Structure 1
Amino acid sequence: MAQAGVILDKDQFNCSICLDTLKNPVTIPCGHNYCFNCIREHWNQNDILGVFACPQCRQNFNPRPTLARNTMLADVVERFKTVGLNGDVIESFAEADDVECDVCTGRKNKAVKSCLVCLASYCDLHVQPHYESAAFKKHKLVTASKQLQETICPIHDKLLEVFCRSDNQCICYLCLADEHKGHDTVRAEEEVQHRLGQLSDMQQTCQLQIDYREKQSEELKQAIVSLSRCARGAIEKSDAVFTGLIRSIELKRFEVKELILAQEKTAIAQTEQLLSLIHKEIAELKKTTAELNRCSYTEDHIPFLQSYQSLPAPPALSPPLSYRQHSDLPIGALMDAVSDFKGLLEEVCQGGFSNIYEKVKDLIIVGPLNSDPLPGQTVALMDISPRNIECNRNPFISEGFVPMFALSQTGTRPSTVFRQKNLQRRSHSRRK
C-alpha cells in the first residue's frame, strides 16, 4: 500500500459515532461505515419517529435498512489493527472477550495463536519465533483459545493426545500405562475423523428429514388451499339451496294469504247480499206497519171498515239464509292446518340437517401419519384424530348432540312418526 503511494490514516477506520476503531463494521446505503452496535442503537432511539438517517450526510432511509456485516472492510480493519502501513507489527491490546498473550508484560496484547506444546498463547509479535526458529517447527499452533488448560491431563500434566473409547474420554500417553491399560484407544485425530464421519451422517439424516417435512408442509398448505376452496364452493351451493327453499316458503305464505283473502272477499259479498235483502224486507215491513198504525187511529167506524178492506197483507219473508256465527268460523281449522304444515316442515328440516351433520362429521380431512420412515429414522405417528384436536364446534350443536327424531335405514328421509300423529289429530277433529 505504501509502495503504491496510498497514505492511510488510522482515523479512516474509526466510527463517527463512538470515535473508536470500527468493530463489526457495516455499510449503510449511502456508503458510510459504522460499528454494528453503534448504528443500531442510534436508529433504535429514532424508531418511534420512524426516521432513519445517516449521522454524517443526514440522508433519510425508509424503510429501515437491514444491517449486513462488511466482510472486506472488517478484514482490512483487523489487518490495520495488527500490522502497520509498512508491514510492521503494531500493538493490539486485548479486550474483555479476547485471549491475552502470555508473554506480554504490562498491558497485554491480543493473542492470535496458542501452542499445544508450549501450552501458551501468543500475540502477533511473540508468535513469530514459532514461524522463524527451527526449534519450534514441531510445535502445533491453533487459534487462540481460553480453554487451553482443558487440553492438559490433570494427572500427568501432559497434552491429551489419545482417546479412550472404553471410557469415552481423552487421555495422555502416560495414562495408557496406568488406569487405561488394555483399553480400546486411538489417537485423538483418528477419533475426530471418525466422529466427523458420524456427524456428517447425522447432518445428512437431518437434512433428509428437513426435506421430507418441508415437502409435507407444502402438501398440507396445498391441502388447506384446496379445502378452503371446496368449503367456499359448498357454502355457496348450500346458500343457493336454502335461498331457494326460503323463496318457496315465501311463495307458499303468499298463496295462503291470498287464499284467505279470497275466501274473505267471497264471504263478505255473500253477507252483503243477505244484508241488502234483509234491509229491503225491513223497509217493506216498516211501510206496512205505518199503514196499520194509521188505520188503527181512525175514530169513525165506517171509514175504518172501508180502510181496513184495502189494507195490504204483511209481506211474506224470504226463506231464511244459513250463516255461521263467529264461533263457527273456520279460523281454528285453518290454524290447525298451518300448525300441521309447520310441524311437517320442521320435521323435514331437522331430519335433513341431521343427515347433513352426520355426513360432515364422518368426513376425515387429515388422518394419522403412516408414511414410511427415512433411512436411519424412526417416525413417531402423530395422533391427530378428532378426539385429540381442539377445534371450534358448531355453537348451535351442544356436546353429545342426539337428534330428537328417527331416520330411515338409508338416512336420507325423515321419519313419519310426526306426520302420523298429525293425521290422527286431524281425523279426530273432523269426527268432532
Structure 2
Amino acid sequence: MATEGSFQSDNKFLCCICLDVFTDPVTIPCGHNFCKTCITQHWTVNDQHQCPMCKEPFDKTPDLRVNTFISEMVHQFRQTMVNKSSSCSEKQAAEPGGVPCDVCTEAKLKALKSCLVCLTSYCQTHLEPHLRIPGLKRHTLINPVENLEDRMCKIYGRPLGMFYLTDNICVCQFCTVSDHRLHHVVPAIQEYEAKKAVLQTEGTNVQQMIQERRLKIEQIQQSVRLSKDDADKETSASVNVITALIEFIEAGLTEVVKTIEEKQKTIEEQAEGFIRELEEEISELMKRNVVVEQPSHIKDDFKLLQNFTSMNTAPPTEDWTEVRIQTSHRGTVKTTVGQLKNTIDEKVKRLYIDIELNRVQQFAVDITLDPETANPYLILSPNGKEVKHGDVMKDLPDNMERFFPTCVVLGKQSLSSGRCYYEVQVKEKTEWTLGVVSESISRKGKVKARPASKCWSIGLRNNCNYKAFNNTHVPLSIKSDLKKVGVFVDYEEGLVSFYDVDASYLIYSFTDCNFNEKLCMIFGPRSNDGGKNSAPLIICPVGQT
C-alpha cells in the first residue's frame, strides 16, 4: 500500500480538466487519466474525440472504466492529505495576510482549501463534507486563495482550467469550443508547470548572476583595499623622499650661504690688506711731502744744492691702478647651485631605487632548488639553497625534466600570476647566469639565453663582462663587483628586473615580456674552471634595505 512518502507531488492526482483530485479516475487509450465525468462532458461539448492533454484523436468514443489502481492511490492520497492537514493545520488561526475560513463564525481559522464551485474557502473542519459526500467530491478544490470569483469564467461559470497560448489568458473548457476554437489551448496545470520550470531556470540563472556580481563586488572592494594600502605606502615613501630632499636642499642652501660668506670674508680680508698697504704708503708720502716742502723755502742756492742729495730718497713706486676688489658673487651662486642640482639628481635616483627595492622585497618568496631538473655535473646542498659545478658527472636518471648538457637547475616553485622576488649571492664567482624561463623550455641540448627562446636572464662572463642576454647581448655597466643579485618578476606587467642588492641599484629590466605559461627560476653556476669558479650560487633570505 502506498505511504505518504510515495506521493511526491499533488499534481499527479489532479485532473487537468477540473483541476481537482480525481473522482472515479479513468484511463483513455493514450494513457492519460481524467475524472470520468470530466472527460465525458468534454467529449460531449467537443465534436472531436481527442485527448485534452496530447491531442491524440480517436475514431470513436473509447469505453471508459474506472481505473481501480489509480482510484485506490487517490483514496490513499486523500487520507494522507487529511491526516497531514489535520496534524499541521487543525484549529490553527488564520495568520495576518492569510486566507481565513468563510464558514467560521467566531474565531476565523486558517483555510485549508478553496472550492471553485461553492466559491468558498474552508478550514479543516468545514472541508470535511467535500471529502465525504459524493456530490461535493466533484467540486473543484484548490489551495486557499482570496477572490475566488476571479478563478471562474464570467461567461460559463466554469473553472478557468485551460490556457490559451496565443492570447495568453485562462479560460474554461467551454470557451475552447465557442470563442477560441482555433487557438492553441493547453490545460492550465500543464502551462503552470512549464512556466514554473522556466521561472525556476531563470531563478537559478538570476541567482548565479547575483553571485557573480557579489563576487565582482568583493573583487573590486579587494582591489580598492589593495590600492589604498599601496597608496598609503606610496604616500609614506613620498613623504620620506620629499623630507630627505628638503633636508638635503636645506643643507645645500646652508652650504651655498656658507660659501658666499667665506668668499665675502676673503674679499674683505683682501681689501683690509690693500687698505693697510695704502695707508702705510700715504704715511710715507706725507713724510716725503714735508721733506720736499722745507727746501723749497731756502733762498740760498748754495745751501739748497748742498742739502738736496740727502733729501733725494725715492718715494713709493707701486702702481695701484689695476688693483680691483670683486663686488659680484653671481658666478659663485651659479656654480654652487649647478653642483647642488647634480647632487640632488643623483640623490633622487638613489632614493627612488631604495624605495623600489624595498617595494619589490615585499613580494619575497622562499625558493628551493629542484634536484630533478639539475644537470648531472651540478652539486646541490642538502637544504636546496646552494648549487655549484662539480668535476664528476653523477649517475642520475635522464628524466624529461633534467637539463643536459647545459649546466643549470630550476627552482621548485613556479609563477603563473602575480609577483615574486628572491635574492642570490654571486660573490667570488667568475661566471654565472640568473633569471627566469618558461616551464616548456627545452631541457635537452644547449639552452639559448634570450627572450625569443623563453629565457630572460643576465650573467657574468670572464670575471668582468656583465651582460643582459636579450635577443642581442647587452653589456651592463656595473659600478662595483656584484655580491648579491635581487630578481623581481611581475607576471601581469611582463616585467623581469635585476638589482644590485648591496648598492640598491637597478641593473637591468626586461619589459613588455609576453608571459603565457608558468615561469621557473633558473640558476646557472657555470663551469668549475679548474677551481677558479668553485664558489656556489646561494639563495639568500631576503632582508629589507
TM range (shorter): 0.3 to 0.5
Higher relative contact order (CA 8 A, sep 6+): 2
Structure (1 or 2) with the greater helix fraction = 1
Structure (1 or 2) with the greater strand fraction = 2
Q: TM-score, normalised by structure 1?
A: 0.47
